[in-house]
Structure 1
Amino acid sequence: MTERETWASRVGFVLAAVGSAVGLGNIWQFPFKTGQFGGASFLVVYLAAAVGIGLPAILAEFVVGRRAKRNTIDAFGALGGRRWKVVGALGLGIGFWILSYYSVVGGWVIRYLLASPTGTYFGDAAGFFSTVSAGPDALVAHAVFMLLVVGVVAFGVENGIERATKVMVPSVLLILAGLAVFAFTLDGASAGYAYFLSPDLTALRSNFGDIVPFAVGQAFFSLSLGMGAMVTYASYVDGEDSLVADAGSIVVLNTLVGVLAGLAVFPLLFAQGIDPNTSGPGAVFVSTAGAFSALPAGRILGTLFFAVVLIAALSSAISLLEVVVSYVVDNTGIGRFPAAGAIGGALFLLGVPSALSTAWLGWFDTLAYKLLLPLSVLAILLFVGWVLGREALSEVVRGSDLGSGFGAVWLWTVRVVVFAAVLGTLVLGLRTLFLGGAIVPPV
């Protein structure tokens, strides 16, 4: 088996994991899901899910990865026996599924970034999105985005992923913060803040069953949980670093980026009188493009915004491709370059339906949120809580000043509280999938 790489530094690991978490889930998905599900009402459930479910769950994935020091499939096999490899295979498959359509959206970002300096989409924001979101143009952009991701992963952990994310993550935070500050100066921005930050508890209670599956799914998606990414990244950790501190840093930074995206996007929309309560994956693209066209220095702002989105999209896509490449490199004699190229080609082919039709992309995305991610996280919690048990307890506190008391609380939280919450989310998601007929692919 090929000698396993490690991160060059602890900061490199944290930034790479944050880069995996900080992606289109925060900047593309988060604003449009928030708009779909009532603004601040969605935000409240999402924040509770990110901290109450996401933090214990990301620790569970870190424990598996660092304990086994193997790719996501072999890690579960080494710690629990061959039959538990199915848990790792499920995560790998889900990451593959998500990256196939994620790359299509990444292609949209490339088109918007290229069009921003000239203001190509200023005249007809909706028409421009229709042109770039489906068809031959979307297929070509999908291929370009996938080539960029393959190129980074092919160079390995330290020389490729770690170097790239050390630039990407600070850039995302700085540019988003700048856009949020600018949005604060706009007339009408206060309505955007009220929509985003003032929850309507009556609406939350009446729509709780609809909001919860997407809010919890958003927490999983934005933290890269259930996809094998965090298991894989933790497997490259060398030393006695505190997993608890690292997990906390990742959750905080990831949530900060999501909130910053909301603080930038919603004031922009309300300043232009645009209703954020629009459905569909193109809502943020159409809305922000329309806003930039009417704002001073709109071309510059548009270029900065879509540069941020592209950087974030690449950082997450890199982690998902690495999950599959890691497994192939660990178990075959194939090197990184050919492995990354071949897997990238397969992902491109799976993404073809999503590139040709936004209805297909929406179907892939809905299944990921409501079924696949909760199912995968549930299986990981079951494994860590009841199969690893006390072995997981000792691993989670290794390298920290926390004692076995903290480990015991975390373990029982994983076993009972978080498991029950994810199970409930899965049941609600399945209910809406089947009642709404969304389980059936588009024709």
Structure 2
Amino acid sequence: MSDRETWATRVGFLVAAIGSAVGLGNLWQFPFKTASNGGAAFVVFYLIAVLLIGFPAMLAEFVVGRRTHRNAVDAFTDLGHRSWRIIGALGIFTGFWILSYYNVVGGWVIRYIVGSARGAYFADPATYFGAVSAGPEAVLAQALFLGIVVGIVALGIEDGIEKATKLMVPSIAVLMIALAIWATTLDGAGAGYSYFLSPNLDAIMANALDVIPFAVGQAFFTLSLGMAIMITYSSYIGEDDNLPVDGGVIVVTNTLIGVLAGLIVFPILFANNIDPALEGGPGALFVATASGFGSLPLGRVVGVVFFGIVLIAALSSAISLLEVVVAYANDNYAISRPKLAAGIGVGLFLLGLPSALDTDWLTWFDTFAYKLFLPLSVLFLVVFVGWVLGGDAVAELREGTGGLGAFGPIWLWTLRIVVLVGVLGTLALGVQTLFLGENPAAFAPF
């Protein structure tokens, strides 16, 4: 087993964790999940889900990772609960599964940067997506995106992931703020803001039972929960880090990025009279936004900048997913990190081939990840930390805080009851829609 690396600075951990959370799920999924679930009403439920479910669950992953300083599987052995290693194994499997098709979507983004510069999709966005989303060229784009991810992770925690995310995350924020300011100049900005930010009380009450599970699922995905990422990243930090403060910074920053995405996307759609509640699978997101760019002044420039932001965000999330697998292998096998990253990358490429050759396969992979693997992984973790670790979890959370007062017990009981109920409801809906043939309105993340 090789010597374990650590983050060079606390800021390095924070930007890496924020980078993991701020990915395709945030920039693409949040605006369009909002559109397909009633606009601002969904935003209200999502914010509640992040506060009451996502934040406590993130702290649970932090506790496991920092207490053991081990990978997501061996952490449970070090805690004296070897039989619970299934939690870490499921998290690693889920991350590997998601990254296999995530790379394919990352390849699409690369193609759209080139297409924006050339104006290639302006005449017929739907046909352009069909041409770039599947087939040999999609396979090559997938390999290019994956190669970048493997290269960053191969360099290590400090020299690879930390340095890359310190550049990526501020770039995402600056560029998105610039685009959001630009979006205020569009004719449809007011209508877009109203749709996105003005909740209708009647709509909230009428659709609560339908929207709440989707809002909880969105909180899981966008905060990188259930994929062992936060267990892995927190295993590289010291006891002096204040976990509640770090978690709060990550949650707030991630949420603000999601809101910024909405402040960009909805004005563009409304300015071009494009229905925001589009359906049609993974391509609907690319086609709708690309349609808007084609009708705007400086559309090529805006398209390059927008898809450039999406590429940076996709890379920052993808490296965290790969690091989860590499961390486990690096802790257990006498193989260099570059060789591990390259070997695992080959496996990801092969698993992702069906998704690169046929978008129906991508949808299938994505559906199982989002409806089954993610909530199941979070459920096991919540039960373990809330009911098995219990007081020990609170003690670990107190390290580096100077004392939590009543927050520790409140967090524990929130995890035991509120989070548990929310996860169980989300999982039940996912299983129902997967195996009983119900219609899962907008449940997939792309």
Q: Distance in 1 between matches of 2:337 and 2:256?
A: 33
Give 1:115 shift.
1.7
Alpha-carbon distance, 1:27 to partner: 0.8
For residue 434 of structure 1, report the CA deviation from its aligned partner: 2.7
Contact 1:394 1:404 in 2 (8 A): no
Partner of 1:197: 197
Report the AA paired with residue 85 of structure 2.
K
CA contact (8 A) 1:21 1:254 kept: yes
Q: Which residue of 2 aligns with 1:30?
A: 30
Shift of 1:199: 2.4
1:172 paired residue number: 172
Instruction: Provide the rounded CA distance (Å) in 2 between the counterparts of 1:47 and 1:254.
Output: 11
With over 3 angstroms needed to count, the CA separation of the structure-2 counterparts of 1:212 and 1:138, relative to structure 1, is farther
Contact 2:52 2:414 in 1 (8 A): no
Partner in structure 2 of residue 365 of structure 1:
366
* 1:161 aligns to 2:161 (yes or no): yes
Q: Per-residue displacement from partner, 1:201-243 (whole Å, max 9, x unpaired)?
A: 4444444344233221111111100101000000000241100
Alignment partners' CA distance in 1, 2:80 and 2:381: 12
> Where do 4+ consecutive residues of structure 1 move more than 3 Å?
200-210
Instruction: Say which SS state the counterpart of residue 230 (structure 2) adopts.
Output: helix
Q: Distance in 2 between matches of 1:364 and 1:41?
A: 29
Say if 2:323 is the partner of 1:322: yes
Amino acid at match of 1:421: G
Q: Is the Cα–Cα contact under 8 Å of residues 218 and 369 in structure 1 kept in the other structure? A: no
Find the counterpart in structure 2 of residue 381 from structure 1.
382
Contact 2:239 2:399 (8 Å CA) reproduced: no
For 2:288, give the aligned amino acid. Answer: S
What is the deviation of 1:126? 1.0
Question: What letter corresponds to residue 273 of structure 2 in structure 1?
Answer: G
Residue type at the aligned position of 1:401: G
Q: Deviations over 1:42-69 (max 9, x none)?
A: 2122111111111101000000000000
Q: Which amino acid aligns with 1:422?
A: V
Larger mean CA deviation between 259-268 and 127-136 belongs to 127-136
Q: 2: CA distance between counterparts of 1:157 and 1:205? A: 46
| TM-superposed deviation, 1:437 | 6.0
For residue 298 of structure 1, report the CA deviation from its aligned partner.
0.9
2:145 paired residue number: 145
**Which residue is equivalent to 1:350?**
351
Deviation at 1:379, TM superposition (A): 0.5
Matches within 5 A, 1:426-441: 426-436=427-437
Determine if the alignment matches structure 1 residue 247 to structure 2 residue 247: yes
Map 1:403-418 → 2, pairs under 5 A: 403-418=404-419
| Structure 1 position 36, deviation (Å) | 1.9
Matches within 5 A, 1:278-297: 278-279=278-279, 280-297=281-298
CA-CA distance at 1:414 after TM superposition:
0.8
Q: 1:438 to 1:288 in 2, by over 3 A?
A: same
Paired with 1:80 and 1:419, the residues of 2 have a C-alpha distance of 23
- 1-structure distance, mates of 2:439, 2:79: 36
Stretch deviating more after TM superposition (179-188 or 401-410): 401-410
Secondary structure in 1 matching 2:221: helix
Amino acid of the structure 2 residue aligned with 1:45: F
Counterpart of 1:216 in structure 2 is: 216
Larger mean CA deviation between 69-78 and 198-207 belongs to: 198-207
* 8 Å Cα contact 2:220-2:226 kept in structure 1: yes
CA contact (8 A) 2:63 2:396 kept: yes
Residue 435 and residue 44 in structure 1: after superposition, are their counterparts in 2 closer, same or farther (change >3 A)?
farther
**Worse-superposed segment, 173-182 or 157-166:** 173-182
Unaligned runs of 5+ in 2: 441-446
Shift of 1:290: 1.2
Partner of 1:396: 397
Supply the distance in 2 between the matched residues of 1:414 and 1:81 (Cα, whole angstroms).
19
Secondary structure in structure 2 of the residue aligned to 1:60:
helix
More off after superposition, 354-363 vs 317-326: 354-363
- 1:359-387 Cα shifts (integer Å, max 9, x gaps): 22122222222211111111111111111
Aligned pairs for 1:303-322 (under 5 A) are 303-322=304-323
Query: What amino acid is the match of 1:29?
Result: Q
Is the CA contact 2:372–2:431 (under 8 Å) kept in the aligned structure 1? Answer: yes
Distance 1:43 1:367 in 2: 24
With 72-81 and 171-180 compared, the bigger mean Cα shift is at 72-81
State the distance in 1 between where 2:136 and 2:34 align.
Answer: 30
Structure 2 residue identity aligned to 1:51: L
Q: Counterpart of 1:329 in structure 2: which amino acid?
A: N
Q: TM-score, normalised by structure 1?
A: 0.96
Percent identity of the aligned residues?
A: 62
Give, as a single letter, the amino acid of the residue that structure 2 aligns with 1:159: D
Shift of 1:255: 0.4
SS of 2:6's partner is: coil
SS of the aligned residue for 1:117 comes to helix
SS in structure 2 at match of 1:416: helix
User: Aligned partner of 1:93: which letter?
Assistant: F
Q: Which moved more, 1:243-252 or 1:397-406?
A: 397-406
In the alignment, is the contact (CA less than 8 A) between 2:40 and 2:198 conserved in 1?
Answer: yes
Provide the secondary structure at the position in 2 that maps to 1:13. helix
Maintained 8 Å contact 1:363/1:438: no
1:183 aligns with 2:171: no
Cα gap change, 1:60/1:426 in structure 2, threshold over 3 Å: closer, same or farther? Answer: same
Taking the TM superposition and a 5 Å limit, the aligned residue runs for 1:38-53 are 38-53=38-53
Structure 1 residue 350 displacement after superposition: 1.1
Give the Å deviation of 1:184.
Answer: 1.0
What letter matches 1:393 in structure 2? V
Deviation at 1:140, TM superposition (A): 1.2
SS of 2:118's equivalent?
Answer: coil
Aligned counterparts of 1:334 and 1:207: Cα–Cα separation in 2? 52
Conserved in 2, the CA contact under 8 Å of 1:213 and 1:369? no
CA distance in 1, matches of 2:53, 2:64: 17
Q: Which amino acid aligns with 1:321?
A: L
CA distance in 2, matches of 1:100, 1:240: 35
State the Cα distance separating 1:427 from its structure 2 match. Answer: 1.3
**Contact 1:19–1:168, Cα closer than 8 Å, also in 2:** yes
1:404: Cα distance to partner? Answer: 4.6
1:116 aligns to 2:116 (yes or no): yes
Name which of structure 1's ranges 127-136 and 317-326 shifts more when overlaid on structure 2: 127-136
What secondary structure sits across from 1:116 in the alignment? helix
Contact in 2 for aligned 1:70/1:235 (Cα 8 Å): yes
Partner of residue 17, structure 1: 17
Residue 252 of structure 1 aligns to which amino acid in structure 2?
V
Q: How many residues get paired?
A: 439
Report whether the alignment pairs 1:266 with 2:282.
Answer: no
**What value does the CA root-mean-square deviation take over the aligned residues?**
1.4
